[in-house]
Amino acid sequence: MSFSEFGEKDYEVIARDWEVLKASAQKRCANPEEMEVVRKAFEFANDAHRNVRRRSGEPYMLHPIAVAQIVVDDIGLGYKSISAALLHDVVEDTDYTVEDIREEFGDKIASLVDGLTKIKNVLDTEQKTHGTDITQQSLQAENFKRILLTLNDDVRVVLIKLADRLHNCRTIEHMPEHKRDKILSETMFIFIPLAHRLGLYSIKTELENIWLRYKEPEAYLDIKARIDRGIAEKGNEMNEFVVPIESALEKAGFHFEIKRRVKTPYSAWQKMQTKGVRFEEVYDLYAIRIIFDPQLNSGESERDQCYRIFSIITGIYRYMPERLRDWVKHPKSNGYEALHCTLLSNSGTWVEVQIRTRRMDDIAEKGIAAHWIYKQHGIMGEGDYEMDAWLDRIKGILVNPDVNAMELLDIVHNDLITTDIYVFTPRGEQRSLPKGSTALDLAYAIHTEVGNKAIAAKVNQKLVTLSQELATGDKVEIITAEDGKPQPEWLKFLQTHRARTVVTDYFKTQRKQTVDYGRSTLEAALKDLSYECDEAILQRLEVAYNVEAREELYYGIGIGQIKLDNLADVIKRSSSGKISWIRKMFSSGSAREDQKQAPSETYIIGSTDPDAPHFAIATCCNPIPGDPVVGIKAPDGTITVHKKTCPVADRIAARHGDWVVVPKWLEQAEDTSFLVRISLRGLDRVGMLNEITRRVSLVMGVNMRRLNLTAEGGLFEGYIDLYVNSKEILDKMIKKLSSIEGIENVSRTAL
């Protein structure tokens, strides 16, 4: 923030934005008294932020107005939330207190502002000595728990914070790069999953696109340009696709509207990454949404009417059975209900069709805010019960006194990003579990004693181990024994928080012995490798194994959760990388608008300065020169370089924002190379393998480390691990291989 006297233009732009907000707020206010509270909040905040500017130079007041605009337009909240959004930075950035807000606006608005201030304080708190300050950790843990408990108490705090984060991301270009990386990592790790779970689709997708635009700018611009071209080329085709659907639904007596949708750049990029496909192979790039008003006197339920529309449109166009998604019968845990199918247009384009009632669409767009409104009016769908069940589950996690701040962050993140599966007991009872859950997770979901005494399971009448991963539709029977008891190795495969907590608690009585055993095991393993068990080594291992305390490291080893099989590699990776040194170039500026952030640090990768800190190339994402990268500076000074899109980097940066630094690639010497993997598939023919290896070794002059290609039924697929100097060389390589006759797809994939 900066301070300078406002001029006439500043007051004009504030007044302009306020008029827009006022028009929106009046539609949400039930009476003039509510609108008067909103006006009073605007004037209070406007006075408090007078002559204060953002980094961009614009009046600071434009930010709370924008947040309030998102609150009313995108989330659909009422006058108290709009007022709290206008006031959300007053306590943090001015001399006013929560008590001042309470005196002027009452308990509820003051409570919302207080919650928002605490969230900001927790996210901006820097842990001294990189997280070793136990008091600070405990304080942060309690604050973080208190904030997230508002999900079940007054979730409006979190909803307003999402609006605040969205506007900060919209203006993130004014932030220094290391601050930007921290905010984007937090956004991907916490706020995007939270928006998804709370059903705020428009906020989620906009945050995702902003994340991609700054993390992978080249990929974002390329995909966006392709989508824009596709819209221009296929606009008429989509119109023609819709015409017979409209005619058939009108004939059937439905009152409806049809909206057109195109996949977002992030959504297309994500599918390309996870499926290893080209842009042209993203089938559901185009979609239409059928939103209808249920026929109340038809005798059919909302669900049955969705199925009837599905029957009508699949009588017009052929559909892809494997892409049918029935979230009407089995809603997502964020309350989302819809029937999705993918139809083949007359011109050969696959189009996704989403079928929703008006209620389903409101909840899909406005999320939990719409869920409340319908619930208050006694209108409940299957998805509403799922939302309530999820909120109850989150509350159960948050009230656990043994979970520290960092564990809590991981647990909530994992719960937020997990999709659900549906399995059945022998009696036909349906159980919802997070995707990836095992038979033992189900045992604990049924009852603690069933889990504790479980020894095996039957899945679809077949005997399996307790570690068997379950899938939707499985019929599962848990086999128990009277003398059965929890085993330490269960912690290696249990997925649900509740099950892991029960097993961990069971072994707590043996914790001291387990910690001592883990310490002696580690010391012996280090001695075998000729390493001293000193502080430097232990700090590296804490970072490498992602633990917050020394005792946690020993305990993890003691119960077998942390394996030491590759200890030598772990130590080597944590102490050095492909290039030996980084040179610190400069420190400048304050990173936070309120002047509290640590100085910005930029490091040049590839410098030979002997006084520079060590760094390592992250093995989780294997960045190469030319990739957009972010640096994570660990407590021992080692800087690990990750790709900006690496989920591991996002996770660390969300937990330790003050570890984020800005690495820049130095022009690499020709003899410096990096290992990458490219995956290929296509039509097999005589000489294909020879042509591929010739292009790699002779034409490009690149060394191969491993070649793994298999052919079956006239098709081949596989991968090549090779060494390259830069992303530029890799891109040329992919282009050369793509030009070979018969190759359908070439892409860079994870090692």
What pLDDT, in 10s, does the model give residues 8-28?
999 999 999 999 999 999 998
CB 354 within 8 A of CB 338: yes
**Tokens 């990003």 belong to residue:** 417
Buried b (16+ CB within 10 A) or exposed e, 587-624: eeeebebeeebbebbbbbbbbeeeebbbbbbbeebbbb
**Average model confidence (pLDDT) across the chain:** 81
| 3-state SS track over 444-457 | HHHCHHHHHCEEEE
Neighbours of 396 (CB within 10 A): 13
pLDDT value of residue 33: 94
- DSSP H or E stretch at residue 53: strand 52-53
Q: Looking at mean pLDDT, say which of 223-227, 260-264, 582-586 comes out highest.
A: 223-227
pLDDT value of residue 353: 95
pLDDT of 183 > 80? The answer is: yes
CB 470 within 8 A of CB 476: yes
Cα of first residue to Cα of last residue in the chain, in angstroms, is 44
CB 450 within 8 A of CB 436: no
What percentage of the chain carries pLDDT values higher than 90?
31
**Tokens 């659907």 belong to residue:** 245
- Mean pLDDT for 49-58 is 91
pLDDT of 269 > 80? The answer is: yes
Q: How confident is the model at residue 380 (pLDDT cuts 50, 70, 90)?
A: low
Q: Give the max Cα distance, the chain.
A: 83
Tokens for 363, please give them: 């909840």
Residue of higher predicted confidence among 366 and 545? 545
Tokens for 62, please give them: 């434009």
Neighbours of 156 (CB within 10 A): 25
60-107 pLDDT, tens digit per residue, is 999 999 999 999 998 888 899 999 999 999 998 888 999 999 999 999
- Mean pLDDT for 660-676 is 76
516-539 pLDDT, tens digit per residue, is 888 998 998 888 888 888 877 887
What percentage of the chain carries pLDDT values higher than 70?
81
d(CA 393, CA 386): 11
Tell me, yes or no, if 712 is annotated catalytic: no
pLDDT value of residue 595: 36
User: Residue 179, exposed/middle/buried by CB under 10 A (0-12, 13-18, 19+)?
Assistant: buried
Distances, alpha carbon 615 to alpha carbons 535, 577, 609, 618, in Å: 18, 6, 13, 9
pLDDT value of residue 410: 61
pLDDT value of residue 533: 84
- Mean pLDDT for 306-333 is 88
Residue of higher predicted confidence among 95 and 148? 95
- Mean pLDDT for 429-439 is 83
d(CA 639, CA 61): 38
pLDDT value of residue 467: 93
pLDDT value of residue 535: 74
Listed range (260-274, 553-567, 594-608) with the worst mean pLDDT: 594-608
The type of residue at 708 is N
Q: How confident is the model at residue 404 (pLDDT cuts 50, 70, 90)?
A: low
- Mean pLDDT for 362-366 is 78
CA 251 to chain centre: 43
pLDDT of 282 > 50? The answer is: yes
pLDDT value of residue 355: 96
pLDDT of 314 > 60? The answer is: yes
pLDDT value of residue 101: 95
d(CA 538, CA 534): 6
pLDDT value of residue 392: 63
Which of 17, 73, 93, 177 is the catalytic position? 93
pLDDT value of residue 667: 66
pLDDT value of residue 386: 56
Listed range (303-317, 502-516, 706-720) with the worst mean pLDDT: 502-516
Q: How confident is the model at residue 476 (pLDDT cuts 50, 70, 90)?
A: very high
Listed range (64-73, 107-116, 653-662, 721-730) with the worst mean pLDDT: 653-662
pLDDT value of residue 588: 30
217-231 pLDDT, tens digit per residue, is 999 999 999 988 888
pLDDT of 734 > 80? The answer is: yes
Q: How confident is the model at residue 379 (pLDDT cuts 50, 70, 90)?
A: low
pLDDT value of residue 334: 65
pLDDT value of residue 584: 34
pLDDT of 258 > 90? The answer is: yes
d(CA 731, CA 728): 5
Listed range (38-42, 158-162, 615-619, 736-740) with the worst mean pLDDT: 615-619
pLDDT of 331 > 90? The answer is: no
CA 45 to chain centre: 33
- Indicate the pTM of the whole model: 0.69
pLDDT value of residue 600: 47
pLDDT value of residue 374: 58
Count how many residues are written for the chain.
751
Helix (H, G, I), strand (E, B) or coil at 602: strand
- Mean pLDDT for 106-120 is 86
d(CA 550, CA 314): 60
Query: 588 - beta bridge partners?
Result: 600
DSSP for residue 324 = -
pLDDT value of residue 594: 37
Which of 17, 58, 73, 92 is the catalytic position? 92
Residue of higher predicted confidence among 213 and 638? 213
Strands 286-293 and 350-357: parallel
Strands 420-424 and 350-357: unpaired
Question: What does residue 519 show for φ and ψ, rounded to 5 degrees?
Answer: -65, -50
d(CA 600, CA 451): 50
DSSP for residue 73 = I
Tell me, yes or no, if 93 is annotated catalytic: yes
DSSP assignment of 90-128: HHHHSS--HHHHHHHH-HHHHHHHHHHHHHHHHHHPPPG
